[in-house]
Structure 1
Amino acid sequence: MSVTGVWVIGALADEKIKDLLRTAVRAHPPKPVAAQAGVLEGLAWWRSKAAESLFVMSRTAPDSWVAAEDASRLSEFIDGCYDDSDPVEALRDAVMDQFPPEGDEGLFTAVARKASPFSALAYALGPDAVLRLPGWFGDFLLDAEQVRARLPAAEEALTLTGARRQHAVERIRAWMTGLGDAPDHDADELIDGPLRVLRHAARSGQGAAGQVRWY
């Protein structure tokens, strides 16, 4: 059975964000995801591997890569960091219903067959840059004030030029072909799209939400 990884970020009205947050807290006060067992150990392991390539070029298929064992381990670590409890999943569904329509300036969507777009970007950026992004590994629900507060750190993490950008693009492509089946995925949009929506939300006084999901 094939699966599809999705990362979606949307700008939402500030009051709508606050209503969703109030509802979530009343229904199920969240526990910090960072407190889960193994997360700190996983981050330490990732930092020890961050400078290494976790893929080797395929000898049989042009422009594709083969995943080393550590690539699968990193993928499993990132996937294991999300809270998939019923109340949190219900909140994600409620937020999804509020996202702008496809093509709206306030929406970014990345989709990949057999691979998580967020995990591909995380591999490209490295752990310390990923922790500067809003929320927790691509999942967030921020009101307008929080968007403005978090934007500078997101800009620092995602504003890539020159050799750093080329290196990130190559890593995204390695992930999308070594672990996924998405050789045509737009690596540049995966880098630029999230920041574009966050800037739009900040300019327009809106909140923003991000979700990493599998279908």
Structure 2
Amino acid sequence: MSGMGVWVVGAVPDRGVGELLRVGVQGSPPVPSYGRVPGELAWWRSREPGSLFRASASSPGSWVAGENAFRLSVFFDSCHYDSAAVGELGDALMDQFPPEGEEGHFAAVARKASPFSALAHALGPDVTLRLPGWFGDFLLRAEEVRARLPEAEEALALTGARRREVVERIQQWMSALGDDPDHDAEDLLDGPLRVLRHAARTGQGAAGLVRWY
């Protein structure tokens, strides 16, 4: 896919989340009703993460995507709704996010690749499904942020060999499927968690949005 992949996570005033909920928006985007989702999840679980990419023979330090990597990328993209209502909700949420650069705001942007997809590949299916919402899209009240924070910390606050492994897998995705080999892979772990901790500490809600431009 061409274009720019974006994942934005921001703290949202709890009152603002409540207003959105009162006009009929659910607390998290619904799981798509595609019949193939369970099958694709089972297929993803059966793959060895290291089998999706191979080192480039012609360009040292670069990676080449195999057929399974492209299939996984298509699956991730198919898990997001693309409708006018979802777009309007996203715009309303982004209007309530703090300015870029503040503690309650995180944004990852990559050419030709989705930052959240890179993170999901790196973490694996079971850890990804423990993150809030559905494949990077979520809307949580303040009490839900506090309840889900421990799971997010377990998934993202990585150290040692596990962190190095996840960072390398993010870099593989960004290099082979995208055009961003120098993407800050560690920020994909630290940035969203920073926002969720900030929201929990300040009594705010939080939201995440996956988009293509």
TM-score normalized by structure 2? Answer: 0.95
The corresponding residue for 1:83 is 81
Kindly provide the amino acid, as one letter, of the partner of residue 98 in structure 1: Q
The corresponding residue for 1:194 is 192
The superposition leaves residues 59-110 of structure 1 with CA deviations (integer Å, 9 ceiling, x where unpaired) of 1223211000000000000100111122122111111121111111100100
Within a 5 Å distance, the mapping from 1:21-170 to structure 2 comes to 21-25=21-25, 32-170=30-168
CA distance in 2, matches of 1:80, 1:117: 15
SS in 2 for 1:154: helix
CA distance in 2, matches of 1:29, 1:186: 30
CA distance in 2, matches of 1:194, 1:163: 21
SS in 2 for 1:35: coil
The corresponding residue for 2:6 is 6
CA distance in 1, matches of 2:200, 2:27: 27
Q: Please say which of residues 83-92 and 110-119 is displaced more in the overlay.
A: 83-92
In the alignment of these two chains, the number of paired residues is 213
Counterparts in 2 of 1:202 and 1:60: CA distance versus 1, 3 Å: same
The Cα RMSD (Å) is: 1.8
Contact 1:75–1:119, Cα closer than 8 Å, also in 2: yes
Contact 1:6–1:110, Cα closer than 8 Å, also in 2: yes
The superposition leaves residues 25-73 of structure 1 with CA deviations (integer Å, 9 ceiling, x where unpaired) of 3xx9998315332111111110001444310111122321100000000
The corresponding residue for 1:214 is 212
Counterparts in 2 of 1:189 and 1:61: CA distance versus 1, 3 Å: same
CA distance in 1, matches of 2:185, 2:97: 23
Measured after TM superposition, the shift of residue 24 of structure 1 is 3.8
Percentage of pairs with the same residue = 67
CA distance in 2, matches of 1:24, 1:115: 32
The superposition leaves residues 108-147 of structure 1 with CA deviations (integer Å, 9 ceiling, x where unpaired) of 1000000000000001000000011000000001010110
Q: Please say which of residues 134-143 and 46-55 is displaced more in the overlay.
A: 46-55
Contact 1:4–1:214, Cα closer than 8 Å, also in 2: yes
SS in 1 for 2:23: helix
CA distance in 2, matches of 1:149, 1:58: 43
1:175 aligns with 2:209: no
